[in-house]
Amino acid sequence: MTLAKHKDQRVAVLIDVQNMYHSAKNIYHSKVNFANILETAISDRKLIRAFAYVVKTKTGEEKPFFDALTNLGIETRVRELQEFYGGMKKADWDVGISIDAVKTAPGVDAIVLVSGDGDFIQLVEYLKNQGKRAEVMAFGKSTSSRLKEIADEFIDLGATPQKYLLKK
């Protein structure tokens, strides 16, 4: 049985910033409007926690962006960008996002995952098995089709990109 959305629901929002950033950049050549994403994710329900998973570079140029997220009431989880011999870079938040979702789930009715990454299919299945409403928000063009299918609700940010992208 799928829980419906209602105003008394307690909700947690988990934002995979890298996934959103790269989707918006590659598909729309634009940046993401996280304020509008958060507003849609909450949908007049009770926000318990909102996390944004971000990556810090050596230059620190992203600090104003991190501050902007904090000003929206979003807690930032920061990971250092790892650079490997040969130039490969990695900053994967999948496990961290999954752990936070599992730890947060007992205190909420719904979890909104803002990511199109198919690596989260098992997480969404787990949350639903725990009786939680599992919603996914992402740009449809870059979202795993299976993730769209199994979510209690999939909100395609690409359906109204002008709402979820910043004006250039």
pLDDT of residue 99: 97
pLDDT at 161: 96
DSSP single-letter state for residue 120: G
Instruction: Give me the long-range contacts of 76-84 (CB less than 8 A, separation at least 24).
Output: 76/51, 76/52, 77/51, 77/52, 77/53, 78/54, 79/53, 79/54, 79/55, 80/55, 80/56, 81/55, 81/56, 81/57
Please tell me the predicted confidence (pLDDT) of residue 3: 66
With tokens 């634009």, the residue in question is 30
pLDDT (tens place) for every residue of the chain, 168 residues total: 556 788 999 999 999 999 999 999 999 999 999 999 999 999 999 999 999 999 888 788 888 999 999 999 999 999 887 777 777 666 789 999 999 999 999 999 999 999 999 999 999 999 999 999 999 999 999 999 999 999 999 999 999 999 999 986
Q: What pLDDT sits at residue 146?
A: 98
* pTM score: 0.93
Cβ neighbour number for residue 149 with a 10 Å cutoff: 11
The edge-to-edge listing of strands for the beta sheet with 110-114 is 75-80, 46-56, 10-16, 110-114, 133-138, 153-156
CA dist., res. 59 & res. 34, Å (int): 23
Q: What is the pLDDT of residue 89?
A: 66
pLDDT of residue 122: 98
Q: Which domains does the chain have, with CATH numbers?
A: 10-164 (3.40.50.1010)
* The pLDDT of residue 101: 98
Distance linking the first and last C-alpha atoms of the chain: 42
pLDDT the model gives residue 57: 80
- Residue 160: the pLDDT is 97
**Which pLDDT value is given to residue 53?**
96
